Amino acid sequence: MVRRIDVTGAGGLRLAAWEFADPPKTDPPRTAPAPGVLLLHGLMGRASHWASTARWLSERHRAVALDQRGHGQSDKAPEGQYTREAYVEDVEAALEQLGLAPTVLIGHAMGALTGWQLAAKRPDLVRGLIICDMRASALGAASQREWEDWFKAWPVPFATLADVRKWFGEDDPWVERPNPSRGEFYAEVMHESADGWRPVFEPEQMLKSRQTWVYDAHWEELAQVQCPALVVRGLDGELGRAEAQEMVRVLPHGQYAEVADAGHLVHYDQPEAWRAAIEPFLDGVLTGQDLGPVRRIMPRTRGVDRAARSPRRPPHRPHRRLSPC
């Protein structure tokens, strides 16, 4: 089951939160509230992208996914109100209004950055953090220009959702190989308008959101995260192994996991392997067990990443344009 709960974010903006719960059981009711988990999607994402993860989480946790400002069924912010501070304050307000704190934050891409910025700012609200495929290094102006050009290339409006799936999963020039999960990701963020299917968000607002983090590095805030934190990467995702391992080193209580045969959309590409990667960490947070500083999850053997030979300093990796952030 899922139910919508409206919360009020920074500047009074209405945000849609979605609580996932098991169907009622005949067992006796809980004597203590279930530990909270808040799931934060990436740029252009929406809360429903977390549905499969939230369903199994709800067996032991109170699992809530948030449509962040300008995304999903949350309101679009007035001009210019897509700052990092606004995103972080939204999540801070949501946790307090939902009564989820102290919570485990699970963030994908932009949502992961929001998660670690909040954990640094309000350690009392966050008991654990999962960072999925988000870089701490600056991406730079060239990356932002690539995204501007990419949005212009979208053949909107799409005639059907099948066309959406095909373009984003196969025909997009920035797709390296057919990727059905990518097509499904974008089909979920489209709505039908009078002339066809268009995104529920405004591309200009996504660019405004993105420009607030691509020009800066975020290592200092990462180092201020005091709770246990797990960095997860897909082997074919945006976050390279060397940078991921440096993030683990910088985090005071960092751990590491990677998922084979997964790209940037780790939880979409390989949902079972994603669960195997994060569930032991969640169990450790619940029980207070120390799983150690580094934990590798590799469902099958892959070739050695050359960048892993020098993990002490994150190398420059050109931004790959095939995935949402």
Per-residue pLDDT tens digits for 272-286: 999 999 999 999 999
Could you tell me where the beta strands, DSSP code E, fall in the chain? 2-8, 14-20, 36-40, 62-66, 103-108, 126-132, 190-193, 196-199, 229-234, 254-259
Decide if pLDDT at 30 tops 70.
no
Least confident of 101-115, 179-193, 302-316: 302-316
Q: What is the DSSP letter of 170?
A: I
At residue 28, the pLDDT reads 52
Highest mean pLDDT pick, 110-119, 268-277, 307-316: 110-119
- pLDDT value at 316 more than 50: no
Torsion angle of the four alpha carbons 257, 209, 50, 10, in this order, in degrees rounded to the nearest 10: 110
CA atoms within 13 A on the CB side of 5: 16
High-pLDDT (> 90) share of the chain, %: 80
Mean pLDDT rounded to a whole number for the chain: 89
Q: In 3D, which of 116, 123, 121, 87 has the Cα closest to residue 254?
A: 116
Who's near 316: CB < 8 A, 6+ residues apart?
137
Predicted structure pTM score: 0.89
What per-residue confidence (pLDDT) applies to 33? 84
The CA-based angle 264-269-274, given to 5 degrees, is: 90
* Burial class of residue 27 in the structure, from the number of CB atoms within 10 Å of its CB (0-12 exposed, 13-18 middle, 19+ buried): exposed
pLDDT given at position 201: 94
Contact 80, 70 (CB under 8 A): no
Q: What is the pLDDT of residues 169-208, one digit of tens each?
A: 999 998 988 999 999 999 999 999 999 999 999 999 999 9
Taking the C-alpha atoms of residue 245 and residue 243, their distance in angstroms, rounded to an integer, is 5
d(CA 281, CA 40): 18
Over range 122-146, report the average pLDDT.
97
Of 95, 85, 147, the closest CA to residue 117 belongs to: 85
